[in-house]
Amino acid sequence: MKDLDNLETIKDMDKSNMRGLLSSLPRQYRDACNLAEKFNLSGSFRQVKNIVISGMGGSAIGGDLIRSLFSEECPVPIVVNRNYSVPKFLDADTLFIAVSYSGDTEETISAFESAVERGAKVLSISSGGKLKDLSAGAGVAYFPIPEKGIQPRCAFGYLFVPMVVFLSRLGFIHDYISELDEAIELLYESAESFSPRVPVRDNYAKHLAMVLYNSLPVIYTGQSYFDVVAMRWKGQINENSKMMAFYNVIPEMNHNEIVGWGIPKDITRRCVVVMLTHDDEFLKIKRRMDVTKSLIAEEEAQVITVRAKGSSPLAKALYLIYLGDFVSYYLAILKGVDPTPVERISLLKARLKESDK
């Protein structure tokens, strides 16, 4: 196990400087907000009956968080589409948002083309690529991400914040300004406290990484707001830490997955369950979490509770996402792997191209 307080070790393992990208994320959020506020939005986007956000992987998680945070207040349904095709209901009354960091994600390109053919009101977001060219050719609104050449999961601010700004400006959700300002300030503070310069004894992200090291992480949370946060933790541990991880939500997992904790104890002893929660948790969900923790602990799995900071749901969610990003980063260092490359994804894409020949 590597020493998380040895800055030279961290630098040697982190060959692509993900630590720099993580530290700059609060600035990315602020920049994305400023750019989105200046973007020219079509008034026709207001006259829609549904919103479809289409993307994959790190480019889709922002749409998931939009759905999770704002679906209860948005007057029209918000649907996240992860597919080559689009839902049958999609038509001229749909606001279709295509999100692809690279602009070359084949599933998103296919869905974009279908949305254009059906006459949807289309908005696209990317750092360039084919999506930029297709948007220009179709005459649809295109929001350019200014930072290129990074992993999509490291561009979350540029992929998520513009959609919050756009939906707010169009009147689908409430005024976001104060909540986003709070969240960004909280992230600036967290960037300091999670920094590699801060030793393990004072660094919550490093501490959690050490708890999760050499384990099978299982992330649980309540359905409201944080279901997507748990998904992000799982995905970041997969991609950054090169580890298996799982997630689920309460109360749904109480109706099925809880039974699976009867698996042999030589497996459950290797599991560490992370309960993501906050101080304003719905009482019935809190009770379910408490009982779930006790049942899992009986199977000799370690259970830890991680509480969100912040006052608004938006700030709480973004804080936990940022914490999870750093935890997965430090897990990679502990394992002695570079957190940035995703070689298996590249290999999968290469083999898919070979099979198309």
Q: Say yes or no: 257 and 325 in one domain.
A: yes
CATH code of residue 249: 3.40.50.10490
Instruction: Give the domain-ending residue among 111, 143, 175.
Output: 175
User: Is there a single domain that holds both residue 165 and residue 23?
Assistant: yes
Q: Are residues 148 and 245 located together in one domain of the fold? A: no
Residue 34 lies in a domain: yes
Active site residues: 239, 255, 349
Q: Tens-of-pLDDT digits for all 357 residues of the chain? A: 689 999 999 999 999 999 999 999 999 999 999 999 999 998 889 999 999 999 998 889 999 999 999 999 999 999 999 999 999 999 999 999 999 999 999 999 999 999 999 999 999 999 999 999 999 999 999 999 998 888 889 999 999 999 999 999 999 999 888 899 999 999 999 999 999 999 999 999 999 999 999 999 999 999 777 899 999 999 999 999 999 999 999 999 999 999 999 888 889 999 999 999 999 899 999 999 999 999 999 999 999 999 999 999 999 999 999 999 999 999 999 999 999 988 888 888 888 888 776
Strands 78-81 and 121-126, by their bridges, are unpaired
**E strand or H helix at 144, and its extent?**
strand 141-144
The answer to whether 68 and 111 have CB atoms below 8 angstroms apart is no
How much is the pTM? 0.94
Three-state SS at 254: helix
**Is 340 inside any structural domain?**
no
Contact 309, 277 (CB under 8 A): no
Give the CA count within 13 Å in the CB-facing half-sphere of 46.
Answer: 7
- Range of 311's domain? 7-13+193-335
Instruction: Please check whether residues 27 and 168 belong to one and the same domain.
Output: yes
Buried b (16+ CB within 10 A) or exposed e, 195-212: ebebeeeebbbbbbbbeb
**Cα angle for residues 77, 83, 84 (degrees, 5° grid):** 120
